[in-house]
Structure formats: C-alpha cells, structure tokens
Structure 1
C-alpha cells in the first residue's frame, strides 16, 4: 500500500513548510497517543479481575505509555511492560518515575517486539489490549506471537487480548474512506488540529492503512506532522483455530462496545 492515501496524499505532496512524516508511535504521535488514550479504561476491569485471579507477576505486551501498567502496579502486582517504540517507552518511563515508590518499584519496562520478545521469566498473566493484535500483518505472525506467549505463561496462567469485531457495521463503516477531525488545546502542545482517516487495501480486504495529519501551533510557528500505520482486521473465526493450535483454552469471551462505537471481543485464555 502507498504510505498515504486520498487527501493525506494530496496534502503530503504539497510539501508545506514545517512538514515531517512519522510512524504513528514516534515523536509527536507518541505524545498525541498519550493525550488521546491516557484515560481509556474499557479494558481495566477485566485486566484487574484476571490479575486478582492469577496474582503476579504480570506481563503487558505493546504496553505503550504505561496506561495499564500503572494500574496493575498500584494494586501491588509486579508488572513488566514491553513495547517496540523508544518514544512510547520514554513517555512511560517519565510517567512511572513520577509515581510513589510503593508503585514504581513494581514496574519494569523493556524494549521488544510483541511477536518474538524474550523475557527471562514466566508470568501468571499476560495482557495485550488496545486492539494491538491488529498491528500484526497476518495469521502466521499471530500464531508465532501466541506460541511465544504460551512459553512465557506459567501453568494455569492466563492470557488476555482483544480483537476488533470486523463484521460489525460500526467497524466496517470506519474503513470506507471517511475522515474524522479533532482539535486539542492542552499542555504541553497548546493548539492542535488533527485529521484521521483509514482506507482498505484493494489487494487485501483485511488490511487497512491509517493516516493522520496534524497541524500544531507552538511559539508562533506551525508544525505539520503526517503519520501512518498499517493494520490487519483479523476475523473472529480465523483466531479460534490459532488459539486451539497453540494450546490455550478459552475461559471467557466478552463482547464490548467502545466509546467510539467500535465493537471488540475480549478473550481470556488459560494455559
């Protein structure tokens, strides 16, 4: 797929002053991610319930800016966060350093890929939420990740992940080329205008390209950032045989509607 599509491609080709292209989880977009998601809590109840059932230690993959990590550590569990983005980890480390000692002593952060990460420890609970599984490109990568997670889970331990319901009208309509726009006016970047759009891959119906365009005004200058990332929308029926093949058993599947009208499945698996 081309890196940008539609209006995003047209804007990028203008090469306006102060333009920079970034990965969605890099630089400015890591800060934007933190601003937009820091208060998300749809997954907190099920994660904390499973933490209480299994105890520690806990491993979170694609842990981002420590949104969930801090909740787990605050409850007294040892938690390790793994993320591939240096900039997301930098924000997470800055946030955790500001926590009371009784909380931050429970937190360890590592750089790593959720597919083939290696941590010299087994965990009572592994979590992968924020629909981060969609960042994998195909079922082969999902199976590889599940096998690796299985090796890092204690006998009787559990794995929690969520998956977009690709068949729901709400989710499929989001990828028909529509564009959302938001404005932000908050510290540390006071004035921001953001366009967000998503487009299906014409050659692969389950893959889509997400584009972002942001204009930021700071110190009387205008900065322009383009961001992009590819996602795969795995079907529910395609994930079930992978779960079975990797040895996990399904304990619970819960369907939830997010605030932005996206429908997801939340899975609880056990080794």
Structure 2
C-alpha cells in the first residue's frame, strides 16, 4: 500500500480542494444508516468531518500518521459537540480489530485502489465483512478504467509531465505549481503517478521541490463484482455518479454491497 509522508499530507487538501460531489453522497448514505459509521482511508478528514457535522458519529481509520495528524488538527477546531462524534484510529484496512460492528462502512475517493495485490484486496474485504453488522452495507467508489487513456499513457512516466493545478502554500503564502506524470501498466493493472510540487518565490523562481509517487491498482467492473461476491457480499447497487445515476463506462464505479449471510 501507499504511504503518505508529511509533505504529501500537507498538500493533500489543496490538491483535492475541488472535490465536492462525493462528500454530499457519503453524508446522505451516513444519514440513512443513522448509526455510527466506519470510514476506511479517512485521510485528513475531508469526508469524515462533514459526516460528523451532519450529526452522525463516525470512526475514521487510516494507516498514514501524517494524514491523521492533519485530521486531528482540523477536528480540534470543531465544536465540542462535533468533536465528540469523531473517533480517529491509526490502522490498516487489511487487518484491523475494533471489537464492534457497523451498519455502514465506507471507503471514499478510490482508497480501495491503494490495495495493490489480490491478496490485499481479499484481506481487506474479509476484515471489513467481520466488522459489518448482519445485513450491513459497504459503500465505496473507484474509477472505471478507460482503454483510450490507458493506451495514451502506456509507458509514459517521466516523459510527459503536465501541469495539474496550483495553490497558495498554507505556511509561506507562495504559489505552488502541481505537475503530474503518469503511466499505466495494463498487464499489472497499475497506475503509477508522480507528482511534483514546485514552490515559487515572489519573482517566480523555484525555491523548493517536493516529489510524491503514487501507485494504484485499478479494477474493472465485473472483476470488482466477482471479488465482492467471492468475499461474502451481495451487490445491491452500482452507480455511475454521485447523483446515483446508472453505471457508464469510463466514469465512476460506486458500489453498494451488503454483508451476505454466508460466504460462498
């Protein structure tokens, strides 16, 4: 699995500040559950905190201490009532033991793709199933691989670097440019990305660079469905967007799966 260090974590919220649709979706699903929710891969609390602010108790689990440190800083600024609804735990989604079960477990923003082997995926789904209540739901989203994009970025890591975005450094006030190079390995179903953060001074000169690698293992629709069924889940819905529209090739795979009574 990937590990975010302090530099990656510090920039994470700025890089992903445009994400909104998924937050409302997960808040709505948490309201339906109406009981404590477990979020795996909670990171800096981008989804976890809005769920708590909506009045739902939530447990956030992540294996990256640097990300959790930022989450705790953000939680400390919330109202006392909201803080009481949040529990943060450092742990690995493949092997955690909480001693309780949940009606809803979520894995937002493609965090499932950080599981880089079939064994990792099965271990995580097995551990999640043990923490779901009878007929409890697992909801998560991953991207649906597009063959044209895979072909365009085959073996291109380091050769095609593209500016992704820019933001203002939270500490120095300087501009930070975000560059991205990526490649797909269709044989291994791996997406390797390499992010470069360039901090500029007032004259536009680069005064600091931060490098951040990221590896994801993407999954295809029926591969994911079979994996869920194999690990003791019953697929209830597959959406193509966060407005719960039908699945469409090349968009999102948003899975809603219930804990089956028995594993096959």
Shorter-chain TM-score bucket reads: 0.7 to 0.9
Q: 1:172 aligns with which of 142, 150, 156?
A: 150
User: 1:256 Cα deviation (Å)?
Assistant: 2.4
Residues 123-138 of structure 1 mapped to structure 2, 5 A cutoff: 123-138=102-117
Correspondences of 1:1-271 after superposition (within 5 Å): 25-167=4-146, 169=148, 171-172=149-150, 175-176=153-154, 177=156, 178-181=160-163, 182-189=165-172, 190-201=174-185, 204-217=187-200, 222-256=207-241, 263-271=251-259
- Distance change in 2, residues 1:268/1:257 (3 Å): closer
Structure 1: give runs of 5+ residues left out of the alignment.
1-22
Q: 1:179 to 1:29 in 2, by over 3 A?
A: same
Q: State the partner residue of 1:8.
A: none
Q: How many angstroms apart in 2 are the aligned matches of 1:24 and 1:83?
A: 10
* Closer/same/farther in 2, CA of residues 147 and 79 from structure 1, 3 Å limit: same
- Name the CA distance, whole Å, in 1 between partners of 2:20 and 2:113: 19
Provide TM-score, normalisation by structure 2. Answer: 0.84
CA contact (8 A) 1:211 1:229 kept: yes
Per-residue Cα deviation, 1:99-128 (whole angstroms, up to 9, x for no partner): 011111100101111211222221111000
Highest relative contact order (Cα 8 Å, sep 6+), 1 or 2? 1
- Alpha-carbon contact 2:15-2:167 (below 8 Å) kept: no
Q: TM-score, normalised by structure 1?
A: 0.82
Give the number of equivalent residue pairs: 244
Distance 1:199 1:85, change over 3 A: same
1:208/1:232 contact within 8 Å kept: yes
Label 1:191 to 1:109 Cα distance change in 2 as closer, same or farther (>3 A).
same
Shift in alpha-carbon separation, 1:256–1:179, aligned structure 2, 3 A: farther
